[in-house]
Amino acid sequence: MTHPKSTQPARDPQGPSKPTHASLARSAGVIGGFTLVSRVLVFARDVLMARFFGTSLAAEAFVVSFKLPNLFRDLVGEGAMNAAIVPVLSETRALKSDDEFWKLVGSLCVWLVGVLAALTAFGVIFAPVVVGLVAPGFAADPGKFALTVNLTRLIFPFIFLIGFSAFMMGVLNTLKNFATSAMGPVLQNLAMIGALVWAVPRWGIEGMAWGVLIGGFLQCGIQAVSFTRIGFRWVRGSLLHPGVLKVMKLLGPRVWGSAVYQMSVFVDMIVASFTSIVGDGGQSALYYSSRLFQLPLAIFAVSLSQASLPDLSKHAAEKNNEAFSASLEFTVRNAIFTALPASVGLAVFAREIIEVLFRRGAFGDESVRVTSDALFYYSLGLVSCALIKVLVTGFYALQDTKTPVKTATMCLGINFILNMILMHPLKIGGLALSTSLAATANVCWLYWIMTRKLGPAHKTRPWGSIAKSCIAAAVMGGICYFGFRPWVQAGMAVAGHLGLIRLLLAVSGGALIYFAAALLLRSEEARNTSRFFYRKS
């Protein structure tokens, strides 16, 4: 029976048209903070993993067995689930009753449990076939093949846990609960680090597999607790609920978009294998530089896009194009404001960062050179990649998952053509520059299409804000390059730890210079940030 209070649409108490910019910034800060902690833990986990197993047979078996659920996570995990679920749930919550919202949640839950259970059972039963397809070379070593099969069967239920966690994250994000879902990866990495410290010395590589599963249970568990606190209640709905069909319709193109990204990575790996053209160490250079490039992208752009999706979806459901445009423009300006100094910092200190973090053992002068070249050219595309995350989120909020896929597919072709052109003169740096240029083409295309979609509602333009951010970044870049960089290099010549300390101080000083310059230029983003911290204090 429907309660009287549930017959009205579950609308946001602050109204349908008022942009929740302060709330969005706080949510992005929460997500970004937990993302930073998670990435630091990933680094610690990788260091411990290398210490215990190096490149041994056990390490190879674990990497392959863990790759399968991670591939699924990339294709239909957090990003795809959010893109498909949040807009539809936000629309239902804004326009229909509370009971209808929970009916849709229940119907999606039943479908997801069935699909994930079937997928998990398939992986466990047919693990030998799956391993044979993913790592056919392991068949030549019966011991390695058998260990990989056993680890795959042990780890495969992680697909169920991570898939259901992604679903709960979508529901929680719709209800503006971001902290719990952002905390999930932190718990995952803590569980794996704990397994390396406690379980691996006792049970070997199988202890690591148990760490993966325990981390998955922790992710599900903490979000299940939040589910009960937000008032979750089971309301039986049809398995053919119209919202379910909408989610499936949106999920398909989103999965293809993730597959396009995987193909772009695969293309770069193929091209980097031509050592006679790009030189030795190309694969490793792309891997290490890409990991560093993804760090600020995840902390700033991904957190902003994830935090903005519920508000944008709500405005889109209410057909409030003015509020939608204002929220999107706010997110675009803040993405540029945060990504631009990170881009300049990576470009200026590319060699110093690589040398401090990785130069030891077999990672010598040539490894530092090629990896820092790749990081420098990747950094040129950081702002474009950040804006892609934000604009794609806007299309998802409009329940348009096809346009981002079309542009990404076209830019995959552009990336391949540029690889062929730039790999000869710039070697491995040419591959990174191709990625940056293709991302720039992609963001220009997406922005043009979005402005046409919004039409007259898109009244504001971020050009003034962008100009102020660029001037502040230029001031920061000049001081860092001519002042801080020689100081860091002098410290590195004396001792590695002194170079690290000076590098950290230089990066911190550069960030303060950028922020001070932006305040002097009366940048709205800098002033909002200043007011936020002033209120906190």
**Residue (of 404, 179, 235) closest to 243 by Cα position:** 235
**Cα-trace Rg, the chain:** 24
Q: What pLDDT score was predicted for residue 223? A: 84
Q: What pLDDT score was predicted for residue 471? A: 96
pLDDT over 70, % of the chain: 79
pLDDT over 90, % of the chain: 23
- Determine what percent of the chain falls in helix, strand and coil, rounding each to the nearest 5: 85, 0, 15
Q: Which residues pair with 97 in a beta bridge?
A: 9
Using the predicted structure, report yes or no on whether residue 55 has a pLDDT greater than 60: no
- Identify the band that residue 382 occupies on the pLDDT scale cut at 50, 70 and 90: very high
How far, in Å, CA of 478 to CA of 379, rounded? 16
The stretch 478-505 carries a mean pLDDT of 91
Tokens encoding 381: 């595309």
Q: Quick check: pTM over 0.85?
A: no
- Identify the band that residue 273 occupies on the pLDDT scale cut at 50, 70 and 90: low
Higher pLDDT, 463 or 507: 507
With a CB cutoff of 8 Å and minimum separation 6, the contacts of 489 are 352, 499
Q: What pLDDT score was predicted for residue 282? A: 66
> Cβ atoms within 10 A of the Cβ of 298, count?
17
Buried/exposed 187-198: b ≥16 CB within 10 Å, e otherwise: bbbbbbbebbee
Using the predicted structure, report yes or no on whether residue 16 has a pLDDT greater than 50: no
CA dihedral 106, 111, 114, 120 (to 10 degrees): -110
Using the predicted structure, report yes or no on whether residue 227 has a pLDDT greater than 80: no
Q: Identify whether the C-beta of residue 198 lies closer than 8 Å to the C-beta of residue 208.
A: no
Using the predicted structure, report yes or no on whether residue 10 has a pLDDT greater than 50: no
- Identify the band that residue 80 occupies on the pLDDT scale cut at 50, 70 and 90: low
Using the predicted structure, report yes or no on whether residue 210 has a pLDDT greater than 80: yes
Phi/psi zone of residue 77: left (φ > 0), alpha (ψ -120 to 50 degrees), beta? beta
- pLDDT, mean over the chain: 81
CA angle 86–91–97, rounded 5-degree value: 115
Strand (E) or helix (H) holding 303: helix 303-317
How far, in Å, CA of 360 to CA of 126, rounded? 42
Q: What pLDDT score was predicted for residue 130? A: 80
> Cβ atoms within 10 A of the Cβ of 29, count?
16
Higher pLDDT, 342 or 248: 342
**Which residue carries 């903490």 as its tokens?**
222
SS (H, E, C) 459-494: CCCCHHHHHHHHHHHHHHHHHHHHHHHHHHHHHHHH
Q: Identify whether the C-beta of residue 199 lies closer than 8 Å to the C-beta of residue 210.
A: yes
The stretch 22-48 carries a mean pLDDT of 74
Q: What pLDDT score was predicted for residue 344? A: 97
Q: Identify whether the C-beta of residue 250 lies closer than 8 Å to the C-beta of residue 66.
A: no
Q: How far is residue 526 from each of residues 23, 199, 326, 390, 522, measured CA to CA in Å?
A: 16, 47, 18, 19, 8
The stretch 498-503 carries a mean pLDDT of 91
How far, in Å, CA of 233 to CA of 98, rounded? 10
Most confident of 244-248, 261-265, 284-288: 244-248
Q: Identify whether the C-beta of residue 73 lies closer than 8 Å to the C-beta of residue 64.
A: no
Q: Identify whether the C-beta of residue 9 lies closer than 8 Å to the C-beta of residue 100.
A: no
Using the predicted structure, report yes or no on whether residue 14 has a pLDDT greater than 80: no
DSSP 431-460: HHHHHHHHHHHHHHHHHHHHHHHHGGG---
How far, in Å, CA of 504 to CA of 510, rounded? 10
Using the predicted structure, report yes or no on whether residue 508 has a pLDDT greater than 60: yes
Using the predicted structure, report yes or no on whether residue 479 has a pLDDT greater than 50: yes
The stretch 474-502 carries a mean pLDDT of 92
The stretch 24-36 carries a mean pLDDT of 74
Q: What pLDDT score was predicted for residue 372? A: 92
Using the predicted structure, report yes or no on whether residue 348 has a pLDDT greater than 80: yes
**pLDDT digits 0-9 by tens, 126-181:** 888 888 876 666 777 788 788 888 888 998 899 888 888 888 888 887 887 777 77
Q: Which residues pair with 9 in a beta bridge?
A: 97
Span of 29-38, 366-375, 511-520 with lowest mean pLDDT = 29-38
How far, in Å, CA of 510 to CA of 485, rounded? 11
How far, in Å, CA of 27 to CA of 46, rounded? 29
DSSP 32-91: HHHHHHHHHHHHHHHHHHHHHHTTSHHHHHHHHHHHHHHHHHHHHSHHHHHHHHHHHHHH
CA angle 209–214–216, rounded 5-degree value: 100
**Which residue carries 């295309």 as its tokens?**
445
Q: What pLDDT score was predicted for residue 226? A: 82
DSSP 359-380: -STT--HHHHHHHHHHHHHHHT
Q: What pLDDT score was predicted for residue 179? A: 76
The stretch 267-292 carries a mean pLDDT of 70
Residue 231: DSSP 8-state? T
Q: What pLDDT score was predicted for residue 176? A: 76
How far, in Å, CA of 269 to CA of 463, rounded? 37
How far, in Å, CA of 383 to CA of 333, rounded? 11
Higher pLDDT, 344 or 288: 344
The stretch 295-317 carries a mean pLDDT of 83
With a CB cutoff of 8 Å and minimum separation 6, the contacts of 19 are 311, 323, 326, 327, 330
Most confident of 69-83, 173-187, 190-204, 217-231: 190-204
The stretch 471-494 carries a mean pLDDT of 94
The stretch 309-329 carries a mean pLDDT of 85
Q: What pLDDT score was predicted for residue 473? A: 96
How far, in Å, CA of 229 to CA of 211, rounded? 27
> Cβ atoms within 10 A of the Cβ of 250, count?
22
Residue 10: DSSP 8-state? -
How far, in Å, CA of 176 to CA of 309, rounded? 10
Using the predicted structure, report yes or no on whether residue 5 has a pLDDT greater than 50: no
Q: What pLDDT score was predicted for residue 269? A: 61
**Local structure of 17: helix, strand or coil:** coil
